[in-house]
Chains A and B, each alone.
Chain A
């Protein structure tokens, strides 16, 4: 933004990672994410996208190298970083409202503050009517919005999202994508979105990180989104430049 050489917001430095005695997934990987940048991470299934997100969230510790938040090595989850998992991670025995409040309760916010933020986000994400329902009573899109509300209520500086819209129908997905784009811009948050959808990546991120190698991954390829306007206005879905960019990503992934 200012073109200064400031510390990265989130960074992986020469990271090696494997699960237990499994095969190496990452080998000497570097990835630098600046403050307020919006990223999408694309790659084939099983290539370790979710693992990368877990490392950035401080939930897995690399065997070599490290993950850093604002220059500090991540050894555990930090309150500045929020993560939404693929299955949304809602607790089935709590109502939608209680799920939204959960993160704030765990972090010890005062009840009045919690309720104010909870009600604000339920309202903004159109969840007021289902606030007292349990996750099993909600549609996929509503569950996704509850998870999003829980994350946004924490006012984290970095939002990590693991295929957040994979389980919802097309129309719901489009509306949620627009909501997310707006909110991320408004909050000025750093975003890392893991997705398997080329279109979604080109829509919601300024920087596209591609995993083109087989494991162990030693490098990610970075593309700049030519259609990116910022300020929460997403590329038009029928823009020829947007189509062209999607085609470019696709041809790279196929190689």
Chain B
């Protein structure tokens, strides 16, 4: 068969097929390297998958705990960060008061305060959620505020001439213009939340994928460590998949522009 690898043929073949092929190649290389090394810390993917299947009920329980923490912290952060960012973008006074503060604390590596948080708030859920929210809220504020500031002066003039008041400006201009950025911020947040959660669950936690991975590591169960990592990746991928659906809804008017 004559397969021509031009651009359109590639596109027709589908991005998903390409991804599956790439993953297959990756797994095969991994399997081969693991067999060559015979190193316990690098079990072959077949062993990892076997362990993953065997542990599925336990992993599911830990995954639910972690997913709940990710969901709550992202929800808190977006609930605080996005409205503040939109209000700041629409009000020069509020912007002057808030934005320097948020931009100042944004680059501070808040994860290093985990031990202090544990001392002050305790080992329970609160310290984890607090840490994750503290990290995410700055990220979200910066992304959303920058997007909401892009409203052209002409648009504001046009709305003013139609008689829009402050709330109507927020509802019809600032919120819709920020929606794509909010979805971007959510995507970034889910990825960061999972990474931070992994660290937060290492200390004083019996539940959650981070705790599971740490325990298996201490018991030298490397295949299980990989299974835990696989479950954590699945959590991230599921979050991204859900957000992509949301994204395609809120950015319809932008995508049409790209397609033209």
**Is B168 in contact with A106, judged by CB distance below 8 angstroms?**
yes
Quote the shortest CB–CB distance from A253 to chain B (angstroms): 27
Q: How far is the CB of B221 from chain A (nearest CB, A)?
A: 51
Q: Is the CB of B154 within 8 A of A136?
A: no
Partner of B163, one of A77, A87, A91, A94: A77
Does A224 sit at the interface, judged by CB under 8 A?
no
Interface digits, B170-210 against A, CB 8 Å rule (1 contact, 0 not)? 00110011010000000000000000000000000000000
- Judge whether B163 and A83 touch: CB under 8 Å: no
User: Cβ of B256: which chain A residues have Cβ within 8 Å of it?
Assistant: 134, 136-137
Whether A107 lies near B163 (C-beta < 8 A) is yes
Considering only CB atoms and an 8 Å cut-off, how many residues of chain B contact the other chain? 22
How far apart sit A154 and B257, CA to CA, in the bound complex (Å)? Answer: 29
**Given A134-B253, A136-B256: A91 and B173 interface contact (C-beta under 8 Å):** yes
**Contact between A137 and B260, CB atoms less than 8 A apart:** yes
Q: How near does chain A come to B155, taking the closest CB pair, in angstroms?
A: 6
Q: Would A85 and B158 be within 8 Å (CB), given that A91-B172, A93-B253, A136-B257 are in contact?
A: yes
Given A91-B155, A91-B173, A93-B253 in contact, is the A77-B161 Cβ separation under 8 Å? yes
- Set of chain B residues within 8 Å of A91, measured between Cβ atoms: 155, 172-173, 176
Interface centre among A59, A106, A107, A137 (most CB of B within 10 A): A106
Quick one: given A59-B161, A89-B157, A136-B260, are A106 and B172 in contact (CB under 8 Å)? yes
State the main secondary structure of chain B at its contact with A: helix
In Å, the complex CA distance between A91 and B161 comes to 14
Which residues from 128 to 171 on chain A have a C-beta closer than 8 Å to any C-beta of chain B? 134, 136-137, 150, 154
When distances are taken between beta carbons in the complex, the residues of chain B under 8 Å from A83 are: 158, 161
Interface residues in A58-95 by Cβ distance below 8 A to B read 59, 77, 79, 81-83, 85-94
List, sorted by A's number, 16 A–B pairs whose CB atoms are closer than 8 Å: A54-B157, A57-B161, A77-B160, A77-B161, A79-B163, A81-B161, A88-B158, A89-B158, A91-B155, A91-B173, A102-B172, A106-B162, A106-B172, A107-B163, A136-B257, A150-B162
Chain B residues proximal to chain A, CB less than 8 Å? 154-155, 157-164, 168, 172-173, 176-177, 179, 252-254, 256-257, 260
A residues with CB within 8 A of B? 54, 57, 59, 77, 79, 81-83, 85-94, 102-103, 105-107, 134, 136-137, 150, 154
Q: Other CB < 8 Å A-B pairs besides A77-B162, A91-B176, A94-B253, 19 of them?
A: A57-B161, A59-B157, A59-B161, A77-B161, A77-B163, A79-B163, A83-B161, A85-B157, A89-B155, A89-B158, A91-B172, A102-B172, A103-B162, A106-B164, A106-B172, A134-B252, A134-B253, A134-B256, A136-B253
